[in-house]
Amino acid sequence: MNNDIIVVTIPKKPDYTSMIRLISSSIGNKVGYNIDEIEDLKVAMGEACILSYGKSSDESIQIEFEIHKDKLEVSLCWDTAVSSEENKEAALGRMIIESLMDEAYYTDDEIRLIKYID
**Burial grade of 57 (CB within 10 A; 0-12, 13-18, 19 or more):** exposed
Residues forming beta bridges with residue 79, ordered by sequence position: none
Q: Which domains does the chain have, with CATH numbers?
A: 4-116 (3.30.565.10)
CA contacts within 13 A on the Cβ side of 60: 7
- Distance, in Å, from the CA atom of 94 to the CA atom of 105, rounded to the nearest integer, reads 10
Q: What percent of the chain has pLDDT over 70?
A: 89
What are phi and psi for residue 23, nearest 5 degrees?
A: -65, -45
Over range 51-76, report the average pLDDT. 88
pTM over the 0.75 mark: yes
Residues with Cβ < 8 Å from 82, sequence gap 6 or more? 54, 55, 90
Residue 30 has pLDDT above 60, yes or no: yes
- Distance, in Å, from the CA atom of 34 to the CA atom of 27, rounded to the nearest integer, reads 12
